[in-house]
């Protein structure tokens, strides 16, 4: 241990106190030993240090900071160096705001397009997500502070996220849901990891010895700190035994007492607690080093321009019929769509950044050179239909050469804590599109949303530009692409299916009442579509340019591939060359192809460059559930180089020697997985894959409600009080939505409806403790007056205890 002598000076109570927050955003300090508090802040795409005191939950306005494009946007750049640049600027702003730990990036897989937090995650592919995350981490930590990769692991939905049990086979867990974290740890060298809320195969992630000890600390050699998601601690002692050092936010000493008692009665050896304290001290002291030098204010304008450059490289051109883009000089455009005036530039929930500057589309036309003849909103932002708005938009459209139509999803639709209801753009926006098409077919649509949407209307537009959520400078970046000042180079980091029903997880999302079954196994995203030959709207890795690229001269050897890339068009541009690998053996089920490398290259018109993409330890590996380790199957592999997962330009094969591991599966027991057609996997076949019985996925309505049940389950409560609570929350949500207060309605669903009863103690900063929760549960379970007396008694005892402590 590095800080053995310092720890020896601590009392047991002091050690335990360090394991929980001081308030909502700071760690505990020990003044007499020179141990200071750390400050933690949300920051996947901008610093969110709220302006109010740190003892308030993080739902208040933040101190102004640069709002960079979200992770889902930057992933479309396929440029890990650009991710590192974003991280550097985030780190610089964190220093300016005295933040020790930046809570990001998020690397969870986009298992399903409806996950409400997809805008915060990079990709459906773990290799791409891991490489982008490692870049962010290196950039953030170059300033001496810490990144905090989240949410570890398999947190792929928002609904019931604090109680849902993810049922997934070991191979899928390793290959799909842990690989990005592995890259973040080994290549990014993150100093902190945030555990997720959910259960994983029956155990809360921060209590999972398999996840936290066997894999994270054992196999990956992680020496850093594990921090709970806010309110994500279930059994504090079990979490500590798993190596989860820091619980956030504060519980006002309640869980400190749990740790102290566990040490005294022998459930935790004090040496285990000392090791946890040692790792936390390392994070505190190393991040403090960043503040030894004088603080320097960051250059607001410079950071804004960097945000613009990042957005420019992340914009994806999806359609360009008749070369309608870039806009020809002198063309008169009509700007239509509410998102043109009030840009949708970031997600909602805990990641909301208060931008230092905010570019507006309507203010940027003059410098773009685009001739704008007028603006009409055309639709109500939150879905209300208006014939009058459509009529006025059509009247303007008739006068224009080209329509710039800004469509997208509103802030209340993509939010932390809630999943989307559908993949559709709101009907009132599509009604507008159809009406405009009747009067002017030269439509260029600009999309603003953080995740995949259905596009049955795409034949009605000639140009389609997807800006995703481009941050505070995204509006200007889009105009620079439309005008041709910037040649688009973004490629989709996720597949766009024709319909939601085509997605592989459609039958099993968001799961049943208690659990969600990952029956699709490793076949998520393009791994499924390409293997099962399912037609999609836009494939993974797809994106157009204003120039063209030719691939030639592929050479494959044991260390990697080289080939020639030529800009065969008339303008300079950047191309993302992608390397996919497919195994030609059918002994083990696999996707048809998997991304194993990529490179982004700038090439002038007419120029050629030699591109080298190396193989690494992940290129040919698979996880063998019999040997319980990574293996290589001896076989011939096809190496595919392309411009997207379906646009393969060059292929060759290579024979690879294997590790001689036994075959992990009986092919006859897993017919769906060997065919890749996994949308109707039976319970029996899924159990063969899991190697165990599938747990019951419905609530036991006969048993009393407990700590890990939610307000949602109060609809089955034995007591009238519990059922009244449920109906009151449902009514409040309905009423707030009806009156237009959608963000507040979302907050109720996130922080009340899906909150486990234990969350009342874990998320209130000590206002409620677990004995008081016992009283609430008694009231809910049909013993109202007994429970009320218990609640009041425990509240009085808690207040009395705190007064005595203060007096001492």
Q: d(Cα 620, Cα 582) in Å, to the nearest integer? A: 9
- Give the residues across from 204 on adjacent strands: 199
**pLDDT value for 744:** 85
The phi, psi pair for 596, rounded to 5°, reads -130, 5
Q: Which superfamily is assigned to 302-517 in CATH?
A: Glycoside hydrolase family 3 C-terminal domain (3.40.50.1700)
43's tokens = 């920051």
Q: What share of the chain is helix, strand, coil (3-state, %, to 5)?
A: 35, 20, 45
Q: d(Cα 643, Cα 624) in Å, to the nearest integer? A: 31
**pLDDT value for 59:** 56
Residue written as token pair 């191309």: 575
Which pTM does this prediction carry?
A: 0.96
406's tokens = 């800004």
3-class DSSP state of 558: coil
Angle 682-687-692 (CA atoms, 0-180°, nearest 5)? 160
3-class DSSP state of 353: coil
CA distances from 343 to 49, 446, 568, 715, 735 (A): 23, 11, 35, 39, 27
Q: Are 177 and 212 spatial neighbours (Cβ–Cβ below 8 Å)?
A: no
Residue written as token pair 């899906």: 754
Q: What is the DSSP letter of 359?
A: -
Q: Are 243 and 220 spatial neighbours (Cβ–Cβ below 8 Å)?
A: no
Q: Which residues contact 265 (CB under 8 A, 6 or more apart)?
A: none
Q: Are 644 and 539 spatial neighbours (Cβ–Cβ below 8 Å)?
A: yes
Residue written as token pair 């294997």: 658
Residue 408, classified by CB atoms within 10 Å of its CB into exposed (0-12), middle (13-18) or buried (19+), is buried
Q: What is the DSSP letter of 412?
A: T
Entry field: residues in the chain: 808
Q: What is the pLDDT of residues 227-284, one digit of tens each?
A: 999 999 999 999 999 999 999 999 999 999 999 999 999 999 999 999 999 999 999 9
- Cα–Cα nearest to 487, from 622, 744, 313: 313
Q: d(Cα 552, Cα 562) in Å, to the nearest integer? A: 10
Return averaged pLDDT per consecutive 10 residues of the chain, 808 residues in all. Answer: 96 97 96 97 89 58 92 98 97 95 97 96 98 98 97 96 96 98 98 98 98 98 97 95 96 94 96 97 96 88 97 98 95 96 88 93 87 96 94 98 97 88 97 98 97 97 98 97 97 98 97 96 98 98 98 98 98 98 98 98 98 98 98 98 98 98 97 96 98 94 92 93 95 90 84 91 90 96 96 94 81
543's tokens = 């994106």
Q: d(Cα 808, Cα 804) in Å, to the nearest integer? A: 6
**pLDDT value for 272:** 96
Q: What is the DSSP letter of 219?
A: I
**pLDDT value for 602:** 98
Residue written as token pair 């945030």: 194
647 is catalytic: no
**pLDDT value for 248:** 96
Q: d(Cα 305, Cα 284) in Å, to the nearest integer? A: 32
Q: d(Cα 522, Cα 775) in Å, to the nearest integer? A: 44
Residue written as token pair 């964190």: 94
- Cα–Cα nearest to 135, from 310, 257, 396, 272: 310
Q: Are 736 and 745 spatial neighbours (Cβ–Cβ below 8 Å)?
A: yes
**pLDDT value for 330:** 87
Topology (CATH level 3) of domain 547-664: Immunoglobulin-like (2.60.40)
Helical H runs in 454-540? 474-483, 526-531
Active-site residue identified among 165, 229, 359, 530: 229
Q: Are 344 and 469 spatial neighbours (Cβ–Cβ below 8 Å)?
A: yes
Q: What is the pLDDT of residues 191-201, one digit of tens each?
A: 999 999 999 99
Q: Are 568 and 550 spatial neighbours (Cβ–Cβ below 8 Å)?
A: yes
Domain boundaries, the chain: 302-517, 547-664, 711-807
């Amino acid at each position: 241990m590095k800080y053995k002598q310092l720890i020896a000076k601590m009392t047991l109570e002091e050690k335990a106190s360090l394991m929980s927050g001081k308030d909502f955003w700071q760690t505990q300090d020990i003044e007499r030993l020179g141990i200071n508090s750390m400050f933690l802040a949300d920051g996947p795409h901008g610093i969110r240090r709220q302006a109010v005191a740190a003892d308030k939950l993080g739902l208040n306005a933040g101190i102004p900071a640069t709002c960079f494009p979200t992770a889902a946007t930057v992933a479309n750049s396929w440029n890990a160096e650009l991710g590192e640049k974003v991280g550097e600027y985030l780190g610089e702003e964190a220093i300016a705001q005295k933040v020790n730990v930046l809570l990001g990036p998020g690397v969870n897989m986009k298992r399903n397009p409806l996950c409400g937090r997809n805008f915060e995650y990079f990709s459906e592919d773990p290799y791409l997500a891991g490489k982008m995350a490692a870049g962010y981490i290196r950039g953030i930590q170059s300033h001496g502070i810490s990144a905090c990769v989240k949410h570890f692991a398999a947190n792929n939905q928002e609904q019931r996220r604090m109680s849902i049990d993810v049922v997934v086979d070991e191979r899928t867990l390793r290959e799909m849901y842990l690989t990005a974290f592995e890259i973040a740890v080994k290549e990014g060298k993150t100093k902190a990891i945030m555990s997720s809320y959910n259960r994983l195969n029956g155990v809360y992630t921060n209590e999972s010895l398999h996840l936290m000890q066997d894999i994270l600390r054992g196999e990956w050699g992680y020496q850093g700190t594990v921090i709970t998601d806010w309110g994500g601690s279930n059994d504090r002692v079990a979490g500590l035994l798993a190596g989860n050092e820091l619980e956030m936010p504060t519980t006002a000493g309640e869980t400190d007492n749990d740790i102290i008692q566990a040490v005294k009665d022998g459930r935790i050896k004090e040496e285990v607690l000392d090791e946890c304290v040692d790792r936390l001290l390392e994070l505190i002291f190393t991040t403090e080093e960043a503040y030894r030098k004088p603080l320097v204010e960051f250059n607001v304008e410079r950071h804004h321009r960097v945000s613009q450059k990042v957005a420019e490289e992340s914009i994806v051109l999806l359609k360009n019929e008749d070369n309608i883009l870039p806009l020809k000089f002198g063309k008169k455009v009509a700007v239509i769509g509410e998102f043109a005036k009030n840009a949708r530039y970031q997600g909602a929930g805990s990641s909301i950044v208060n931008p230092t500057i905010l570019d507006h589309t309507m203010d940027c036309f003059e410098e773009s050179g685009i001739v704008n003849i007028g603006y009409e909103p055309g639709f109500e932002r939150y879905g209300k239909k208006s014939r009058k708005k459509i009529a006025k938009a059509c009247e303007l459209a008739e006068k224009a050469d080209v329509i710039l139509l800004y469509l997208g999803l509103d802030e209340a639709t993509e939010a932390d804590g809630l999943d989307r209801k559908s993949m559709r753009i709101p009907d009132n926006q599509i009604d507008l599109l159809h009406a405009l098409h009747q009067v002017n077919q030269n439509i260029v649509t600009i999309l603003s949303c953080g995740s995949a949407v259905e596009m049955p209307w795409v034949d009605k537009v000639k140009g389609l530009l997807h800006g995703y959520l481009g941050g505070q400078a995204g509006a200007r970046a889009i105009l620079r692409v439309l005008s041709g000042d910037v040649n688009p180079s973004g490629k989709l980091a996720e597949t766009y299916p024709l319909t939601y029903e085509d997605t592989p997880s459609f039958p099993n999302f968001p799961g049943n009442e208690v659990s969600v079954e990952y029956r699709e196994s490793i076949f998520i995203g393009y791994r499924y579509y390409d293997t099962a030959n399912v037609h999609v709207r836009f494939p993974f890795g797809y994106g157009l340019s204003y120039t063209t690229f030719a691939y030639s001269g592929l050479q494959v050897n044991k260390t990697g591939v080289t080939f020639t890339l030529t800009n065969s068009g008339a303008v300079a541009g950047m191309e993302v060359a992608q390397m996919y690998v497919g195994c030609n053996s059918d002994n083990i089920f696999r996707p048809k192809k998997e991304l194993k490398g990529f490179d982004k290259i700038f090439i002038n018109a007419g120029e050629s460059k030699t591109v080298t993409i190396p193989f690494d330890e992940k290129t040919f590996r698979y996880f063998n559930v019999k040997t319980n380790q990574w293996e290589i199957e001896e076989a011939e592999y096809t190496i595919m180089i392309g411009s997207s997962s379906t646009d393969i330009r060059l292929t060759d094969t290579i024979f690879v020697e294997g590790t001689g591991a036994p075959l992990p599966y009986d092919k006859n027991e897993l017919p769906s997985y060997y065919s890749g057609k996994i949308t109707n996997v039976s319970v029996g076949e899924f159990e063969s894959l899991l190697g165990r019985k599938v747990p019951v996925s419905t609530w036991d309505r006969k048993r009393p409600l407990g700590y890990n049940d939610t307000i949602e389950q109060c609809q089955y409560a034995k007591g009238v009080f519990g059922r009244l609570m449920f109906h009151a929350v449902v009514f409040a949500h309905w009423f707030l939505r009806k009156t237009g207060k959608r963000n507040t309605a979302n907050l109720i669903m996130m922080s009340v409806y899906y909150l486990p009863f234990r969350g009342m103690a874990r998320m209130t900063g000590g206002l409620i403790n677990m004995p008081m929760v016992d009283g609430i549960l008694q009231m809910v379970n049909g013993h109202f007056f007994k429970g009320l007396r218990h609640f009041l008694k425990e509240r009085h005892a808690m207040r009395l205890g705190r007064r005595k402590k203060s007096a001492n």
